[in-house]
Amino acid sequence: MKRSDEAFWWALFSAGGVMAALFVPAFVLVTGFLLPAGGDGAVAAERTTQFAAAVGWWPVKLALLGVLALSFVHCGHRIRHTLMDLGLRRYSGLLKVPCYGGALAATVWAALLLWRV
Amino acid sequence: MSTELTMTLEVFRYHPETDHEPRFQAYEVPYDEDWVVLDALNWIKDHVDGSLTHRWSCRMGVCGSCGMMVNGDPKLTCAVFLKDYYPRPIKVEPLVNFPVERDLVVSLDGFMDKLEAVKPYIIRDDVNDTSGGEYLQSPAELAQYKQYSMCINCMLCYAACPVAGHEDEFLGPAALALGHRYNKDSRDQGQAERLDVMLVGEAIWGCTFVGECTVVCPKHVDPAGAIQQAKAVGAQEFFKRFVAPKGAGV
């Protein structure tokens, strides 16, 4: 019998798990708490401007897109397997369309947003 | 005798030749703090009801025969003490996720088929050639697989696994961990053969890393870890196809 292509999706899921667990919380910490914290509003605004300038640099954009894309696939894969566990196992192939398609759509959206920064 | 402490065992009973459906039967058993649940079951069989059917052999957590659900948890009944439940009643049921043959005895057929499928033995091309002497192995090479070799096939991990319960294609924790055990053995040459079985359909990919198999294992094997490592090997093999196609001689 032919080996399953699930290895491909699992590899992306696995990589996305590292991104979602390691980098996403770090981004939330930096952008949500550390940038606005301390000093008066002007200092925070200055820091935010500097951060936005860094995000404007294309290697940073690319790295951010990588983190986001893999996190989206991770999310889509987990949702697909949850739906399979909830009784949709026989549609495991069909579920790839909305789950990984959704991850792709979210990645394109993120790319457009990053393009505009 | 009247002053002797007792406790209640509620035991799952089902004799397919006479019973339309399973029932629970309550037994009062002597309470002894040195007794395990298996001692109480054996006491029932010897003194109260000889028709009670259960599997057991070594009484010391080695043979893996006496696995049952004890108050809903998969346990080796030779390793759970009455004193941990006293004075509350103890409910004893056959392992879930397996067809019941009679009372506390489940059918092993499906499990044995899955175990056999992963070829849990050393595969060599030169199996009959002993001219080179024994196959030497360093302590570091032994450490690669040793913990996975401690499995006693008690099947508690199958009773704990939600995927094993509803996905027939899934080979399950013990079989996958044993397949991985031989793949990691430096003396073995059978990884490709085993991966052809393990990487098909839902055989390994059905696992969603719930991790209960590792929690319930009485021998401290980590099947959940073994499965994740085997998945990583599967992913590497998948991408290797594009780097070194078959027949490229790489």
Q: What value of ipTM does the predicted structure carry?
A: 0.79
Q: What integer pLDDT is reported at residue A116 of this predicted model?
A: 86
Please identify every stretch of chain B with a pLDDT value under 70, giving residue numbers as ranges.
Answer: 1-3, 245-250
Mean local confidence (pLDDT), A22-31: 90
CB contact under 8 A, B238 and A2: no
CB B173 within 8 A of CB B224: yes
What topology does CATH give the domain A8-116?
A: 3 helical TM bundles of succinate and fumarate reductases (1.20.1300)
Instruction: Give the pLDDT of residue A85.
Output: 84
| Whole-number pLDDT of residue B245 | 66
Distances (CA, A) of B46 to B39, B61, B93, B105, B209: 10, 22, 19, 17, 42
The domain limits of chain B are 6-106, 109-243
CA distance B241 to A74: 23
Please tell me the predicted confidence (pLDDT) of residue B248: 54
User: CB contact, 8 Å: A2 with chain B?
Assistant: yes
- CATH 3.30.450.30 assigned to domain B6-106? The reply is no
Report d(CA B220, CA B233) in Å as an integer.
23
Q: What does the pLDDT read at residue B250?
A: 43
pTM of the model: 0.88
Half-sphere exposure at residue B78, Cβ-oriented, CA atoms within 13 angstroms: 16
- Write down the CATH number for the domain with range B109-243: 1.10.1060.10
- Is A97 part of the contact surface with chain B (CB cutoff 8 Å)? no
Cβ B205–A10 below 8 Å, yes or no? yes
Chain A partners within 8 Å of B196 (Cβ): 1, 3
Residue B81 contacts A where some CB pair is shorter than 8 Å? no
Task: Give A 34-53 residues with CB within 8 A of chain B.
Answer: none
Helix (H) or strand (E) holding B7: strand B6-13
Q: Does A29 touch chain B (CB under 8 A)?
A: no
Residue with tokens 């073995």: B188
Residues of B in contact with A95 (CB under 8 A): none
Instruction: Report residue A63 CA to chain centroid gap.
Output: 11
Q: How high is the pLDDT of residue B4?
A: 87
Could you tell me the two tokens for B119?
Answer: 């070829």
> For residue B199, which residues of chain A lie inside 8 Å, CB to CB?
3-4, 7
Please tell me the predicted confidence (pLDDT) of residue A36.
80
For A70-116, what is each residue's pLDDT tens digit?
999 999 999 999 998 888 888 988 999 999 999 999 999 999 999 88
